[in-house]
Structure 1
Amino acid sequence: MSEARRKAAPPPRRKKHWALRILGWLAALFFLGVIAGVAAFFIIYQSTEIPDPNAEFKTNTTTVTWNNGSRQLGTFFDQNRRSVPMSQIPKHVQDAVIAAEDRSYWTNPGISPSGMVRAAWNIARGEQLQGGSTITQQYVKVMYLTQERTVSRKFKELFIATKLGRQEDKTKTLEGYLNTIYFGEGAYGISAAGEAYFNVSDPRKLSVPQAALLATVLNNPTLFDVNDTDPRTKKRIVERYKYVLDGMRQNGTITEAQEARYAKSLPDLSKQKKKSDRFKGPTGFLLDMARKELRARGFDEDEISGGGLKVVTTFDYKQQEKIVEAAQNELPEKRDNLHVGMASVKPGTGELVAMYGGPDYLKSQLNWATTKSRPGSSFKPFALAAALEDGKSIWDKFQGDSPIEIQGQKLNNEFNRDYGDVTLLKATEQSINTAFYDLVDNQMEDGPNKLVNVAEAAGIPKTKALEVGRNNPSTVLGPDPYASAVDMAQAYATFAAEGKYAPLHTIKEVRGPDGKVLFSAERDLKKQVKQAIPVETARMVNYVLQDVVTKGTGTGAKKLDRAVAGKTGTAGGVAVEDRAENKACDGCKEGSATLTSWWTGYTPELSTSVVYRAGKTGESDLDNYSDEKAFFGGSWPLKTWLAFMSKALEGVPESEFVEPNEDDIAKGSPTPKYTPSNTPPPNTPTNTPPPNTPPPNTPTSTPPSTKPTSSPTKTKPTRTTTTPVIPSLPTGQPEPTETPRSPGGQ
């Protein structure tokens, strides 16, 4: 073969870069995944059948039991339902609901892609599953599915909603939705809602503002509760109401001028429906508290009122009987407008076993056991714990003479009494104010802040008022509304459990209608149990607060005849009736009244707090109810506490508090710092008898054998400065007028 006829050799082939090959494979896999996903969607879509709706749709009663799980405490079933045809539901009512819940209702396929992405994101992060975001999805959830919050249930909802949106007339779906959705007040459906809120059962007679308000509350009847007096709730309702009106304007239902006119105020309510008798008496407060906790645990109103839940509470039937008996019988002879709040918590578990919020929930929903008020000297144990952690000893001495000047403010002891230089032990025992001012504000760097840290660690909820106290003088005497009886019982229970904190709860277990456990305190709250306060610090606090009982301001508790620790507390100020006069006379009545009076006492088995208040708002003078110089915590609050605890602990084996390190007691050495470990302290204290006598060679009238680590700071004021005004009270309380405050005393 000639060279001319020979074919030229082909050029060598270039190999693709490895990165391009990988990219190609990834692209291929991606497209295969998309194809597989689309195929799976259509397969599942085709195989999904729309269940037969329950035409006689009824909610299942949610039952609430005492802690034994068998005896019924009450129910949350309060159903008012009346279906009406779409022809009786005017367009402006329909449009109000659509503007509130699903503005693309008439055009969307029954689901919201953005809602699906959000739900998927929450599932991926392990968070609570959200409900349907479209009207169709919400309707599917109520009519066709259970209330369980699972991934499988969520996907069923999406596929049924998609199919329903394509196959069923939108008008029919909206009619079903408007006749089944829950509006609060026990009202299911638009007709029942109109009757419950406006005494208008015919939807055709609802005005545009009334329809807009109903559409506002159906989104979340608890969050937008028209009965809630909290200004924050009112603000949320107004903002949501204006949002609904804006949507109605955008959809052409109302004009811009009408929107502006309607937005000026909410429509007047005309509620004539009586509250259910199931909430009658003191137990109504227990049911209300349990319902609120269910909301906090993620259960929505539909589930609570009609999900057929089985709720087991922490409340003990027998203990509740005893606490009600004590709160209603062990009182002064004069009782008009006198209020008692009581709470009892089991140390180490956080279980609220009994509570007294008032005589009848139907007559007044103001719960005196959960309403925050000024704890006065009841806050001193937190200062004691903070001081021990700061390296102080119970034998360190502080200024006991009155007055003392702190940041330019003149602060006094009760009745301006002088005690001389006193040990921290005696200051706690006798509740000496100036010694604690000296301790926290003079002898501890950043003292108020450290005090607040301990209070919150023990279980006092974080509030704006308490956070402000981090920078204020006199925080140690709880001059502001820091805590409720429930809060104090919980925080002192942490001391009783040797510093072990367990979150307060009233719900022990929740099961669905199929028996499946949806919430378990033992399982779901386990991670929140922690060693909040060092063991040795807690033991020393228990030691000192036992001294309050043996020879201090709480000696009446000795009648319990078992190991007991506790602290009195009173908070002084100006009674609400005298505030106008006090303002006119430039503070001449400052500190003239006792506004709160406390005794919080505990054993290793039970922690119970009692608070007394007077007047319609709880801001009247308690001294009018006592023949003594003042309504001290060691008087009626302690007597009421004793009447309950003596019966509550009948038959309960007695145990002792574990004593602190002997060197810390006898030698007066500072409490060592503690680093929490993974091993919690023993739940059952050893049987070591409590200290009934002062440590050897350290009488309260003479200095301790070991030289104190710090000396008291004596100061005499050159002028009197008015203390800051009382801040707004927390949610659920009447807001007092601004008035000078007096921190309090014993």
Structure 2
Amino acid sequence: MSEARRKAAPSRARRKKHWALRVVGWLLALFFLGVIGAAATFFIGYQTTDIPDPNKAFQMNTTTVYYSDNETELGSFYDQNRKSVPLNQIPKTVQDAVIAAEDRTFWTNPGVSPSGMARAAFNIARGQQLQGGSTITQQYVKIMYLTQERTFSRKFSELFIATKLSRQTDKKEILEGYLNTIYFGEGAYGISAAGDAYFSEPDPKKLTVDQTALLATVLNNPSYFDPDKAVAQKRILERYRYVLDGMRIGGTISEAQYAKFSKALPKLDKPQKPGRFAGTKGYLLAMAREELETLGYTPEEISGGGLRVVTTFEIGKQNEAVRAGTTQLPKKNAGLHVGLASVRPGTGELVAMYGGVDFLKSELNWARLRARPGSSFKPFAVAAALENDRSLYDTFQGTSPIEINGEEKNNEFDRDYGAQVTLLRATKLSINTAFYDLVDKQMDDGPSKVVDAAEAAGIPKTAALERGRNQSSTVLGPDPYASPVEMANAYATFAAGGMYTPVHTIKTVTSPGNAKNFDQKDKYKPERKFDKAIADQVNFALMSVTEDGGSGERAQKLDREVAGKTGTAGGVAVEHRAKNTKCDGCLEGDDTLTSWWTGYTPQLSTSVLYRAGKTGEGDLDPFSDDAAFFGGNWPLKTWLAYMEPALGSSDEVKFDEPDPDSMDSPTPTFTPTTPSITPTTPPPSKPSDPPSTPPSTPPSTPPSTPPSTPDDPPTTKPTRPTRPPITFPTGPNDPPGEGEGGGGGGGNGNGNNQ
């Protein structure tokens, strides 16, 4: 190698080193420029930001709720209950509980939390909602001086104002303002109103330690930590213990007090709600408010944001629903509960709902509380069968009993309907054994397919419903709990030709300045769940239920094309469970616990449910002269009392006829067949027939007419077949249970024929 080339190599190395140093220098320069720029930006922002006058918007504006006509007022949300209390009248335990919950460095921090701000900035950079990281000072600034919007500009204003306020104002003054303005839920602003709302105690000095800790728990997020929500109890208890632990660490309470109070939440003692929630309107307002929260409106915005809310409830139909639910009842009705829900197919609009007599006396909404649907679940089995290439004219076992997985399953009163019955006839007469044969013997993974069809139609996916995927009795609904609101909307999916739209109560929301408007068309859009050909056939099958001899033949009084299905679920009523335990299950299956009729036209889908007793688990049978409280009797009568005036003089709309090519029959016309039947008990007479004397022996030849419908009352009540017990799961829409629940088809399926 030449001398010249040896000297060139070090020169290149030096150039690389110099280049690396330059890059490092540039990066350091950019870093310092960034720091200087950020400091300058903060300094300028701090200097140019003035503490504004207290927010006039805090003087809350009433939110008004209207019926669907956008003119008739349904009610309002103006629950601003606020009474200021000087800090010297607020005990240290109350102050320390709130500080332990929201800002444990309140007395020493500069009014802002840098780590919290960084976390909020990181969230918004990832496209998430700007939230969290707020100190007590920042929260107070947001309430008194700024809007509730979550944007960078508002957050930076909050940062500058909180910093300046913390430097210029005594922390005690900030804490006093915060404790008198923060929202605790239940329309309560400030600690005095909160004590009154949750414990009927407006004087903060009289609040106990555990009550104070719960209030501090709730204020973090009144909706998420709502003590009235059963699903929130676990997270509330965890947050409550976190607050108590902060009070223990701060020396406010002792170890013994922490051990005592952390065991359980204190008992609530709420005063009666305002009179504007009285009567049946309270159920509508409560449901509308809940939906507003799911749409992203905060409790503060709902209670005092000056919103104009237009609901889907139609005042004429709503009045008729209330009339039907309160007047079209058995003469003996003390302890009876009626739930009625009416949905417009294709839109998901809940146009009417009857949930109870008086919201102030009981907040249990019987139109939203879930119950076992019994045979009301069979239409989903029909849809599942059609989706799996079965036909309405395929035949299945109609004799009773049928053996499924080693267990005997029966028809109601153990009736026989013939060795082979079509699916169409099985639907019309609600023949249990035929549906067991279809789902559990003739379809692979049948129960799971029934669940799939139910969820597609609109029955919410729940743990109870999912359990049904592995149970032979799923077709008779032992586990798939549903409410009248949910059932009405699921049947509406078929009425709409297989198009599902989420059920809802809010049409539009208009906010002041149009800052946060909402229109149902932007959120609730129809989605195809079933082929129209399948939906048409389901409608056709359910129309047969309302024909002569069908379990819902009374629906003919509407004088329109109607499709629908009855449903009953049996078991052991709560008043009989102690006796049932003593006799080792001798009463299982004797009682009727739920009774349904869900019927629809192309214009309106309405579901009616009857229940009895304080928790809805009482025996319905004593309220009826029938063999049992069948869905084709009082539930259908109540349905008619609503549907006749609700449809009024509107033009009749007929269902689309099924395509003959999609059915295994020359024409989609139902022709009743005469089953081979050997009744074990004489068939009951129709309701209009006079009582007859039963024959001493069964007839030796089959009757020339189809057997009477299961809704026809016999002259004497026959002995009911045994039904196995079930448990009553408690969900967010379920009433509290009392011990073991009754059954109806969970094992032998005897109680769900209707």
CA drift of 1:431 comes to: 0.6
CA drift of 1:56 comes to: 10
* Contact 2:571–2:723 (Cα < 8 Å) also in 1: no
Aligned amino acid, residue 371 of structure 2: S
Q: Deviations over 1:397-427 (max 9, x none)?
A: 1111111222233221111101121111111
Quote the residue 1:394 is aligned against.
392
Q: Matches of residues 523-538 of structure 1 in structure 2 within 5 Å?
A: 523-526=522-525, 529-538=526-535
Aligned amino acid, residue 408 of structure 1: G
Take 1:702 and 1:93, find their aligned partners in 2: how far apart are those partners? 76
SS in 1 for 2:282: helix
* Contact 1:350–1:503 (Cα < 8 Å) also in 2: yes
* Contact 2:55–2:146 (Cα < 8 Å) also in 1: no
* Contact 1:496–1:604 (Cα < 8 Å) also in 2: yes
Take 2:633 and 2:723, find their aligned partners in 1: how far apart are those partners? 30
Q: Deviations over 1:679-704 (max 9, x none)?
A: xxxxxxxxxxxx7x42xxx653489x
Quote the residue 2:694 is aligned against.
none
Quote the residue 1:706 is aligned against.
none
* Contact 2:590–2:723 (Cα < 8 Å) also in 1: no
Aligned amino acid, residue 657 of structure 1: F
Quote the residue 1:682 is aligned against.
none
Q: Deviations over 1:169-205 (max 9, x none)?
A: 2221111000111223332211222333344433233
Take 1:654 and 1:721, find their aligned partners in 2: how far apart are those partners? 44
CA drift of 1:513 comes to: 2.4
Aligned amino acid, residue 225 of structure 1: D
1:368 alignment partner, one of 363, 366, 369: 366
SS in 1 for 2:513: coil
Q: Which runs of 5+ in 1 are unaligned?
A: 1-7, 670-690, 704-719
Aligned amino acid, residue 546 of structure 1: M
* Contact 1:377–1:477 (Cα < 8 Å) also in 2: yes
Q: Deviations over 1:198-231 (max 9, x none)?
A: 4443323333223212212222333333444x2x
Which deviates more, 375-384 or 141-150?
141-150
Q: Matches of residues 667-678 of structure 1 in structure 2 within 5 Å?
A: 667=665
Quote the residue 2:753 is aligned against.
745
Q: Deviations over 1:539-576 (max 9, x none)?
A: 11111111112242111112222222111111111111
* 1:485 is the counterpart of 2:493: no
Quote the residue 1:236 is aligned against.
235
* Contact 1:728–1:736 (Cα < 8 Å) also in 2: no
Aligned amino acid, residue 327 of structure 1: G
Aligned amino acid, residue 224 of structure 1: F
Take 2:469 and 2:24, find their aligned partners in 1: how far apart are those partners? 58
Take 1:38 and 1:440, find their aligned partners in 2: how far apart are those partners? 71
1:300 alignment partner, one of 283, 291, 298: 298
Take 1:294 and 1:521, find their aligned partners in 2: how far apart are those partners? 12
* Contact 1:560–1:645 (Cα < 8 Å) also in 2: yes
CA drift of 1:368 comes to: 0.3
SS in 2 for 1:469: helix
Quote the residue 1:620 is aligned against.
618
* 1:383 is the counterpart of 2:363: no
Quote the residue 1:729 is aligned against.
730
SS in 2 for 1:549: coil
Quote the residue 1:500 is aligned against.
499
SS in 1 for 2:223: coil
* Contact 2:570–2:723 (Cα < 8 Å) also in 1: no
Take 2:30 and 2:239, find their aligned partners in 1: how far apart are those partners? 46
* 1:700 is the counterpart of 2:653: no
CA drift of 1:476 comes to: 0.8
Quote the residue 1:336 is aligned against.
334
Which deviates more, 385-394 or 658-667?
658-667
CA drift of 1:129 comes to: 3.8
* Contact 2:725–2:744 (Cα < 8 Å) also in 1: no
Take 2:495 and 2:277, find their aligned partners in 1: how far apart are those partners? 33
Take 1:440 and 1:617, find their aligned partners in 2: how far apart are those partners? 32
* Contact 2:723–2:744 (Cα < 8 Å) also in 1: no
Take 1:431 and 1:9, find their aligned partners in 2: how far apart are those partners? 99
Aligned amino acid, residue 262 of structure 2: A
Aligned amino acid, residue 399 of structure 2: D
Take 2:337 and 2:175, find their aligned partners in 1: how far apart are those partners? 49
Aligned amino acid, residue 310 of structure 1: R
1:651 alignment partner, one of 644, 649, 652: 649
Quote the residue 2:554 is aligned against.
556
* Contact 2:588–2:724 (Cα < 8 Å) also in 1: no
Aligned amino acid, residue 733 of structure 1: P
Q: Matches of residues 249-268 of structure 1 in structure 2 within 5 Å?
A: 249-268=248-267
CA drift of 1:438 comes to: 1.1
Q: Deviations over 1:438-469 (max 9, x none)?
A: 11111111111111111111111111111111
* 1:206 is the counterpart of 2:207: yes
Q: Deviations over 1:140-192 (max 9, x none)?
A: 22111223444543443333333323433222111100011122333221122
Q: Deviations over 1:497-556 (max 9, x none)?
A: 111111111112222222334332211334xx3212222211111111111122421111
Quote the residue 1:327 is aligned against.
325
Take 1:422 and 1:415, find their aligned partners in 2: how far apart are those partners? 18
* Contact 1:96–1:245 (Cα < 8 Å) also in 2: yes
**CA 1:726–1:547 in 2, change beyond 3 Å: closer, same or farther?**
same
- Normalising by structure 2, report the TM-score: 0.86
SS in 2 for 1:394: coil
Which deviates more, 473-482 or 509-518?
509-518
Tell me the percent identity: 63
Q: Which runs of 5+ in 2 are unaligned?
A: 1-6, 677-720, 746-751
**CA 1:555–1:176 in 2, change beyond 3 Å: closer, same or farther?**
same
Q: Deviations over 1:120-148 (max 9, x none)?
A: 34434444443663212221221112234
Aligned amino acid, residue 162 of structure 1: T
Take 2:401 and 2:285, find their aligned partners in 1: how far apart are those partners? 47
SS in 2 for 1:73: strand
Alignment RMSD, CA only?
2.7
Quote the residue 1:93 is aligned against.
94
Which deviates more, 143-152 or 367-376?
143-152
**CA 1:308–1:118 in 2, change beyond 3 Å: closer, same or farther?**
farther
* 1:286 is the counterpart of 2:284: yes
- Normalising by structure 1, report the TM-score: 0.87
Quote the residue 2:81 is aligned against.
80
Query: How many residue pairs are counted as aligned between the two chains?
Result: 693
SS in 1 for 2:536: helix
Take 1:735 and 1:479, find their aligned partners in 2: how far apart are those partners? 16
Quote the residue 1:106 is aligned against.
107
SS in 2 for 1:550: coil
Aligned amino acid, residue 539 of structure 2: N
CA drift of 1:650 comes to: 1.7
CA drift of 1:648 comes to: 1.1
Quote the residue 1:223 is aligned against.
224
* Contact 1:131–1:138 (Cα < 8 Å) also in 2: no
Take 1:66 and 1:28, find their aligned partners in 2: how far apart are those partners? 64
* Contact 2:568–2:592 (Cα < 8 Å) also in 1: yes
Aligned amino acid, residue 673 of structure 2: T
* Contact 1:423–1:700 (Cα < 8 Å) also in 2: no
* Contact 1:509–1:517 (Cα < 8 Å) also in 2: no
1:596 alignment partner, one of 594, 602, 608: 594
**CA 1:352–1:120 in 2, change beyond 3 Å: closer, same or farther?**
farther
* 1:542 is the counterpart of 2:552: no
Take 1:200 and 1:513, find their aligned partners in 2: how far apart are those partners? 34
Quote the residue 2:198 is aligned against.
197
1:582 alignment partner, one of 580, 583, 594: 580
Which deviates more, 107-116 or 605-614?
107-116
Quote the residue 1:633 is aligned against.
631
CA drift of 1:364 comes to: 0.7
**CA 1:347–1:29 in 2, change beyond 3 Å: closer, same or farther?**
farther
**CA 1:518–1:251 in 2, change beyond 3 Å: closer, same or farther?**
farther
**CA 1:10–1:267 in 2, change beyond 3 Å: closer, same or farther?**
closer
Take 2:137 and 2:362, find their aligned partners in 1: how far apart are those partners? 39
**CA 1:69–1:578 in 2, change beyond 3 Å: closer, same or farther?**
same
Aligned amino acid, residue 208 of structure 1: V
Quote the residue 2:309 is aligned against.
311
